[in-house]
Chain A
Amino acid sequence: MFPRPITQLSAPSQTLYKIAVPVALFLWLLPLLGVALTSVRPASDLAQGNYFGLPSALAFENYATVFRNTPMLQYMLNSFWVTIPTVIGAITLSCMTGFALAIYRFPSNLIVFFMFVAGNFVPFQILMVPVRDLTLSLGMYNTWYGLALFHIAFQTGFCTLFMRNFIKALPFELIEAARVEGVAEWRIFWFIVIPLMRPAIAALSVLVFTFIWNDFFWATVLTNSAATQPVTAGLSSLNGQWIAQWHLVSAGSILAALPPVVMFFMMQKHFIAGLTLGAVK
């Protein structure tokens, strides 16, 4: 194990380490803690210059104000409306593409695979003008499905990379045995491979959920009204209206950050497994 386990060191060093870790964590999360604290600070505290001390009272009404005076609830619902279909769509498509690229040998296999991988790295701006134009001409501009369709297509690139490598690591004898028995290819996919892919599906679901929930660029390019804007774009426009009302900005920020954070803590193991795919050989 590297570095040398702390349990082999002297007692004072161990104590020092046990103090150092939470202190480092506190410093690391300082921006987050500051915003979290500001979000429950009464406006009067800010007016009196109490920015860092403990809040004079816990002002949960900041959150109530955000919900009452702004379309925050609508923004968050819009985000769910875009995110959940994207997760389902991208995972459905990539189970199939990943299966095709992992199981079958055909001449253009690697070329198709690397097209998905490379497409996944391109800057969004090179897609912006044509994708916006396509969405407009399909009559889907400023709708949740217009945004979701793009996200499904783009995420398919990353998900294909993931699924293909995952299926490739499964024991191939299973499929060969099924073929010898004369099982149809789609039944192999559905009854043999899909059940084995549960961990991959779980990992990708949380990852894609987080990526799409946190997307800002496409939200600003493909939507423009409070009725359809996801929470990232909504928060950005609210920030423009709330000049210097940091207690509201903070409460809005915390709300926008909450769903992916909850998702992360619920599905931590899968999330990290997905993110670190390929980090070990």
Chain B
Amino acid sequence: MSAYWKTNQRRLAPWLFLAPGLFMFMLYVIIPIFQSVFVSFQDWDGLGEARWIGVDNYVELMDDDAFYTSLKNNVIWLALYMLAVPAGLLIAIFLNQTIAGMRLYKSLFFFPFVISQVVVGLMFSWFYAPNFGLFYNLLEWLTGTGTAVLADDRFVTYGIIVAGLWPQIAYVMILYLTGLNNVAPDQVEAARLDGAKGWRMLWYVILPQLRPATFIAVVVTVIGALRSFDLVSIMTNGGPYGTSRVLSFYMYEQALSEYGYRMGYGAAIAVVLFAIMMIFISGFIWKMWRDETER
């Protein structure tokens, strides 16, 4: 036994170290993905007997207006959420100076990211609240009539996205501040001697050096946009009349809320969301894989 261990120690050790973490991750993350796909072919209320119905859930989805509303909103989320990347860069450039108290300013700018999205959602609900909300009053003062953003199906999704952008911009900002800190000073000086400044300097000298930060910023922003659930749930609960639903929220509504326990249908929505995210995830993984094997 001990002789066997002595000779094979180095071959067995990694698997012994991996075992507990791998077991947990398999049990709670990897296997459930496949189980969800399986459930999506069933009619199941979560308690009773599950019935195999093939692709019926997906066929029903094709004809479900609420599904298309959610899908459309997800696209809007994704597109507008990407604004966090340039906005974060802008604030990072603005703050990348050394004046007294700058450290404190930077951490205060970062503040929104530390706060729970539930609290962010409540803050913005208050901000938008009809009659007394700060934003409502500002609009009234500017245009003469206030708008209850969260009760108006034309604006509600945009209103929620703005709330989501607040912490997201803070996150991107901190990524870029770290990136800017590590930009090679000699290259910047050399470019300056060659007369580069402003936009050209940013585009040709600084941004190429910020690529790792940009990559992470894009990854976390895409994932954040498609994961949006908390804000929708807190601020509007999908309303008015389901117009602010996104796929993650609609799935929850179908599977677990008072509207019924349709686990199979919910799982089918989740599979669609998963498929959309897989497009992005495989892109990210492909790039990381390339970086890893090149080294």
Contact = CB atoms under 8 A, between A and B. Distances in A.
Please determine whether chains A and B interact with each other in the same assembly. Answer: yes
Interface of A: 1-7, 14, 17-18, 21-22, 24-25, 28-32, 34-35, 38, 49, 51-52, 93-94, 96-97, 99-101, 103-104, 106, 109-110, 112, 114-119, 121-134, 149-150, 152-154, 156-157, 160, 184-186, 189, 210, 213-214, 216-217, 220-221, 232, 235-236, 239, 246, 249-250, 253, 256-257, 260-261, 264-265, 268, 272, 275-276, 278-281
B152 interface: no
12 contacts: A21-B99, A22-B105, A123-B248, A123-B277, A128-B266, A130-B31, A149-B28, A249-B122, A256-B119, A257-B119, A260-B116, A275-B171
A146 to B, nearest CB: 11
A2 B201 contact: yes
Interface stretch (B16-24, B55-63, B78-86): B16-24
A32 B281 contact: no
Contact of B32 (A51, A96, A116, A130): A130
Contacts of B11: 106
A149 B178 CA distance: 33
A93 B24 contact: yes
Contact of B118 (A134, A216, A281): A216
Given A152-B24, A239-B234, A261-B115, A129 B39 contact: yes
B270 to A, nearest CB: 4
B126 interface: yes
B108 interface: yes
Interface residues of B, number: 108
A123 B274 contact: yes
Contacts of A110: 289, 292-293
Contacts of B32: 126-127, 129-131, 134
Given A96-B18, A134-B27, A216-B117, 7 more contacts: A96-B17, A100-B13, A121-B277, A129-B255, A130-B32, A214-B115, A275-B174
Interface majority SS (helix, strand, loop, mixed), chain B:
helix
B39 to A, nearest CB: 5
A22 to B, nearest CB: 7
Nearest to A120: B29
A236 to B, nearest CB: 6
Contacts of B31: 130
